[in-house]
């Protein structure tokens, strides 16, 4: 195939990945667990080309050198596996804000991995595709299988993602700032590992929370899933804030959402807040409560248009002609 198009959706972690054990192989310091969304798809087309170097069009504009370099590094790996040296033209469209802490690197590299593997003729199963996507962005590994996914820590062969059984869940996305974060997840992770005195404690804490989360998912215990989700998110932001110089992703607007969610619980509406590396907050709840949560976020925290998401599909190939969304 000389051209292939794929769609993938962002995923939001309930137990976070924060820190690598190996940068080159993109192996995580701990396992993590997420829900892939059924909203905000990324569509990426990869076409082998006769030009001298790779090109990347992102969201309708020529990519920056940094964005292109990251894609070329990933394509180099694909080309090495395929025994092919031809450059590619990559065209990608995110519907989620790019670099805002809503997992554009996850949908972006899951779609790129799926399209590039097909274009260069790699025949990979879900496990191996999730290992490949991991090399582009760690969190992208979890957007390959779909639904609620666990990404295992381990060596190159063992560090893949797979779907796990979970009770019905919904997420309500509270976008407080769609702008690009001042420091990328990758860079912030490096600084956390190098300078945060809390990082050594974060690893066993997250590993323990992941075990409890897996058990809560198997038991269908939404309350426990929610409690573990909110506590793990706040611990991640604590370890990040402990960096030197400090990194603070959560803003006053984020805090208003966390407060509104605590208020919902006090009034018997079960909801739990989480946030990735950015100011935007995602609220985990039961599907039947999602509309009430969204309405309360608007009323209590001034969120203009909360978006309700259910578990979404894994990454898949498309013929490239249909509309996004
Ligand atoms: P986010 O919170 O959105 O995941 P990150 O800091 O992890 O933010 O990653 C943002 C970076 O991911 C972008 O600067 C760009 O390099 C890369 N990226 C995002 N979307 C795409 C895409 N569709 N195709 C290729 N690279 C992408
Ligand atoms: C806070 O996967 O974006 O969203 O592997 O360097 O590309 P790289 O980082 P990335 O980090 C995601 C961090 C997080 C938590 C999570 O998604 O688990
Ligand atoms: Co990311």
Q: For residue range 278-304, list pLDDT tens digits in order.
A: 999 999 999 999 999 999 999 999 999
Q: Among the residues of 83-184, which ranges form H helices?
A: 104-119, 126-136
- Dihedral-angle region of residue 219 (phi above 0 means left; psi in -120 to 50 means alpha; beta otherwise): alpha
The confidence band for 1, taking pLDDT boundaries of 50, 70 and 90, is low
Cβ–ligand 1 distance for 93 under 6 Å, the answer no
- CB distance 13 to 32 below 8 Å: yes
Does the Cβ of 95 fall within 6 Å of ligand 1? no
Determine whether the shortest distance from the Cβ of 279 to ligand 1 is under 6 A. Answer: no
Mean pLDDT of 224-247: 98
CA pair distance 314, 116, nearest whole angstrom:
16
What are the structural domains of the chain? Answer: 2-166 (3.30.230.10), 170-309 (3.30.70.890)
Return the residue whose CA atom lies nearest to atom 19 of ligand 1. 105
* 5 close to 115: Cβ distance less than 8 angstroms: yes
**pLDDT over 70 at 22, yes or no:** yes
What is the rounded CA–CA span in Å between residue 306 and residue 294?
6
Q: How would you classify residue 277: left for phi > 0, otherwise alpha for psi between -120 and 50, otherwise beta?
A: beta
Contact 282, 12 (CB under 8 A): yes
> Does any ligand 1 atom lie closer than 6 A to the CB of residue 90?
no
Q: Mutate which of 108, 114, 179 to test ligand 1's pocket (most atoms within 8 Å of Cβ)?
A: 108
Beta-bridged to residue 62, according to DSSP, are 57
Name the closest-CA residue to atom 6, ligand 1: 184
Ligand 2 atom closest to the CA of 106, numbered from 1: 2
Query: How does pLDDT run across 72-127, given as a tens digit for each residue?
Result: 999 999 999 999 999 999 999 999 999 999 999 999 999 999 999 999 999 999 99
Would you state the pLDDT for residue 63?
A: 98
* Rounded-to-integer distance, Cα 223 and Cα 232, Å: 14
Q: Ligand 2 pocket: which residues have CB below 6 Å? A: 13, 16-18, 26, 32, 105, 137-139, 185-186, 189, 276-277
204-235: per-residue pLDDT in tens? 999 999 999 999 999 999 999 999 999 999 99
Tell me the average pLDDT of the chain. Answer: 97
Is residue 67 lining ligand 1, measured as CB closer than 6 Å? Answer: yes
């Amino acid at each position: 195939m000389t051209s292939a198009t794929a769609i993938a959706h962002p995923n939001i972690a309930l137990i976070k990945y924060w820190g690598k054990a190996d940068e080159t192989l993109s192996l995580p310091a701990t396992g993590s667990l997420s829900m892939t969304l059924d909203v905000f798809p990324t569509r990426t087309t990869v076409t082998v080309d006769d030009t001298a170097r790779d090109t990347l069009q992102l969201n309708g504009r020529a990519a920056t050198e940094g964005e292109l370099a990251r894609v070329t590094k990933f394509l180099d790996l694909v080309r090495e596996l395929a025994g092919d040296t031809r450059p590619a033209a990559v065209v990608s469209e995110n519907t989620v804000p790019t670099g805002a802490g809503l997992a554009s690197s996850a949908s972006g590299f899951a779609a790129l991995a799926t399209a590039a593997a097909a274009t260069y003729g790699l025949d990979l199963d879900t496990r191996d595709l999730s290992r490949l996507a991991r090399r582009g962005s760690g969190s992208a590994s979890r957007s390959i299988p779909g639904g609620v996914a666990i990404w295992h820590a381990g060596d190159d062969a063992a560090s893949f993602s797979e779907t796990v059984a979970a009770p019905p869940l919904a997420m309500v996305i509270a976008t407080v700032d769609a702008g690009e974060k001042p420091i990328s997840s990758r860079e912030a992770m490096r600084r956390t590992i190098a300078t945060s005195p809390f990082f050594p404690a974060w690893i066993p804490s997250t590993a323990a929370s992941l075990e409890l989360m897996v058990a809560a998912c198997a038991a269908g215990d939404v309350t426990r899933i929610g409690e573990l989700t909110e506590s793990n998110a706040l611990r991640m932001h604590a370890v990040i804030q402990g960096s030197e110089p400090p990194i603070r992703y959560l803003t006053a607007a984020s805090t208003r959402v966390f407060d509104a969610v605590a208020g919902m619980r006090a009034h018997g509406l079960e909801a739990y807040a989480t946030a990735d590396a950015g100011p935007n907050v995602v609220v985990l709840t039961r599907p039947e409560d999602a509309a009430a949560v969204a309405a309360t976020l608007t009323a209590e925290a001034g969120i203009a248009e909360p978006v309700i998401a259910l578990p979404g599909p894994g990454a898949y190939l498309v013929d490239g002609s249909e509309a996004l969304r």
